[in-house]
Amino acid sequence: MTDPADFSTTPTVRLRPKAEARALRHGFPWVYADELVTDRRTRALAAGTVARLEDAERRPLGIVALNPASKIIGRVLDRDPEAEIGPAWFEERLARALSLRERLFDAPFYRLVHAEADGLPGVVIDRFGDAAVIQPNAAWAEQRLDQLAAALERVTGVTVIVKNGTGRARGPEGLPEETLLLKGALDGPVPVPMNGAIYMADLLGGQKTGLFFDQRPNHAFAARLARGARVLDVFSHVGGFGLAALAAGADQALCVDGSEPALDLAARGAEAMGQAAQFTTRKGDAFAVMEALATEGATYDLVVCDPPAFAPSKQALDAGLRAYERVARLAAPLVAPGGFLVLCSCSHAADLTRFRNASARGIGRGGRRAQLLHTGFAGPDHPMLPQLAESGYLKALFFRLSP
């Protein structure tokens, strides 16, 4: 079989006459299956093959990575039709991404590569000091993982590299789920300092890459509301909002999550901060726990709900919006008079307006009135590609509730 990484054998593929080449010229990063001429030759190309892309008039558009089995049949890698996708190319992309993060952050804990927005379609890399976790969520990156990892080591100097091959994005690409230690050794969770808190990230067994860096600015804003407060952090994972609140001077924090390992890591973070006495956890279904807390008459000065993506696709949008409304309805009665409610969504299919409306309906159904104080998004280490709405997925709404 022809080596898809061999530039000398790079095939050419072409858009259909009615395909919108203008969007691609202006920066849109994807070619959909119904936009490409898929003759027998194209359909026979291996997933991950790199090809030159032309418009219907045979004018060059750039280099794409193909996956004939995917709805997104082509991912634009480079606008230069003569670009060679090899070690030097990976190093240039990674160096560009690193220069931005080093300007933004004083310590090497951040998202280093945010997929299409950093010019590496389908690739996510999170950095944890001397360790990094790669998520190769597209076939082309899976095939070139050795090159990518080697370039990552050369550019950043990390000594530990983990491949996290889990998540819903790999299924449509025909990729199996697996997590592997590619380089170095880990002897346990990695301590991550952020917003004055200490988080414990399990790089081999945790959710996603082990920690959610995207919420960093929202943790910080919530922490401003947390001084002297009783805090409830629902869907807490490893204690994202709860530990940030304690670091800012909260009196106490209760973290609720369905994962015992995640709560254990949260408790270890509180212990590392010297605040184990102010920290408690409660394992269970978040909806059921909120209902139980209401029955118990519990109230908190700051309540945060950061659930998983309830609307990961357009097909799931209606059900997802109902779920977000239900979260708000159950959370609102738990907020003490004059307290604060933070509601988050990481569903790209639920845009800001729909999510805000669902949240407002839920608060109203929960018997409360609210002021919207602030709207937060992902941090700058999660840049948005303006042409790709999906890259701007995270929303956080900060409300103050009246009595």
**Which of these is catalytic: 255, 305, 344, 346?**
346
Q: Are 156 and 112 in contact (CB under 8 A)?
A: yes
The H or E element that residue 286 is part of is: helix 286-296
Q: Are 247 and 195 in contact (CB under 8 A)?
A: yes
- The pair of structure tokens assigned to 339 is 């307290």
Q: Is 344 a catalytic residue?
A: no
Q: Are 343 and 327 in contact (CB under 8 A)?
A: yes
Measure Cα distances from 84 to 52, 62, 72, 139 in Å.
11, 11, 22, 17
- Per DSSP bridges, beta strands 300-305 and 252-257 are unpaired
Rounded CA separation 81/63 (Å) = 5
Rounded CA separation 273/267 (Å) = 10
Measure Cα distances from 338 to 130, 306, 323, 341, 367 in Å.
43, 21, 25, 10, 14
| End-to-end CA separation in angstroms for the chain | 69
| DSSP class per residue in 309-368 | -S-SSGGGHHHHHHHHHHHHHHHGGGEEEEEEEEEEE--TTS-HHHHHHHHHHHHHHTT-
Rounded CA separation 36/54 (Å) = 10
Q: Are 13 and 53 in contact (CB under 8 A)?
A: yes
Name the DSSP letter for residue 304: E
Rounded CA separation 112/121 (Å) = 13
Rounded CA separation 380/361 (Å) = 30
Catalytic residues: 346
